[in-house]
Amino acid sequence: MRLKLDWGRNSKLGVDSSSNNVKGVKFKALVGAATAAILIGTFGDNATTGFTERHEGMVLRGYKDPIGIPTKCAGDTYNVVLDKVYTYSECIDSLDTQLYNHALPVLKCLPSIRDNVHFLAAAIDHNYHLGNFCSSSMMKAHRAGDDKTACVRYNENSLGKPQYIYVKDKFIDGKWTYKSLNGLIKRAAERRSMCERGLK
């Protein structure tokens, strides 16, 4: 049985992060077992569903998302075969690869973030989901040493307005309109909360 990630089970990490129980191979080797446990999850008697899978969902087939992008597994848009059925193991391998690929630029543009499990996990999940961490206000605040502001920026801009909660809606008069989604509002808020766990 796979359980939802329980942030409260461990006061520091919220997950069982013993290396042998953490899913994935490449991602765990790159970022360490603790960060991998938060994002990709663990297996065994105290199995957890990782943060990224919990928010992306897990669809064991190739399909088109609401705006027509071929997608599979936990929001993976790479090498998708529409209508193909994937095993859960294949999807975890896919998530492992994509989290690894999205962690690399985060570690390159902000190497110091490796020192904080929760800052790193929040940044990688943002990059996996939206792909723009290295040009974001979060990265700039972290680089300036203002970690508290960096965490706030995961769901609130410098004017106090919500951000990272919108998707394209309708194409009208040559421009896209956007709408917020409850799932994105929740994910951005939880990503901020995860970052704030790393504040000292």
- The whole-chain average pLDDT of the chain stands at 88
Taking the C-alpha atoms of residue 49 and residue 53, their distance in angstroms, rounded to an integer, is 7
Residue 84 has pLDDT above 50, yes or no: yes
Q: What tokens were used for 121? A: 């996990």
In this structure, the strands spanning 41-42 and 48-49 are antiparallel
* CATH architecture assigned to 3-196: Orthogonal Bundle (1.10)
What's the one-letter identity of residue 170? K
In this structure, the strands spanning 3-4 and 48-49 are parallel
Q: What tokens were used for 91? A: 């999807």
140-147: long-range contacts at Cβ-Cβ below 8 A with a sequence spacing of 24 or more? 142/110, 142/112, 142/113, 143/110, 147/116, 147/119, 147/195, 147/198, 147/199
* Angle, alpha carbons 84-87-91 (nearest 5°): 90
pLDDT in tens, 34-64: 999 999 999 877 788 999 999 999 999 999 9
Q: Where are the domains of the chain?
A: 3-196
The pTM assigned to this predicted structure is: 0.86
pLDDT in tens, 106-159: 999 999 999 999 999 999 999 999 989 999 999 999 999 999 999 999 999 999
